[in-house]
Amino acid sequence: MKIRIGYVTNSSSTNFLILSKKELTAQYLYKKLGFKKNSPIESAAMEMCENIIYGTNKGLRYFNFDE
């Protein structure tokens, strides 16, 4: 997976679906994606998780279903 910032040429749109039993927070997503505390990429990984959770423009939706 490549993470790029800015304009990317020759790319197509990509959608992601993240299912969780708990309401997503950046910290919870960080843990569930398998990132470890004090790793060399901790800062970048947490920033990515925060961007996923808080950087969406009404793209993130939370539904509370029992099953």
Confidence of residue 16 (pLDDT cuts 50, 70, 90): low
* Whole-number pLDDT of residue 60: 65
What CA–CA distance (Å, rounded) separates 42 from 10? 29
Q: Tokens 């423009």 label which residue? A: 57
Report the chain's C-alpha Rg in angstroms: 14
For residue 22, give the amino acid letter. K
The two structure tokens encoding residue 32: 């569930």
Rounded to 5°, the CA angle 4-46-62 comes to 95
Whole-model pTM: value is 0.60
Confidence of residue 9 (pLDDT cuts 50, 70, 90): low
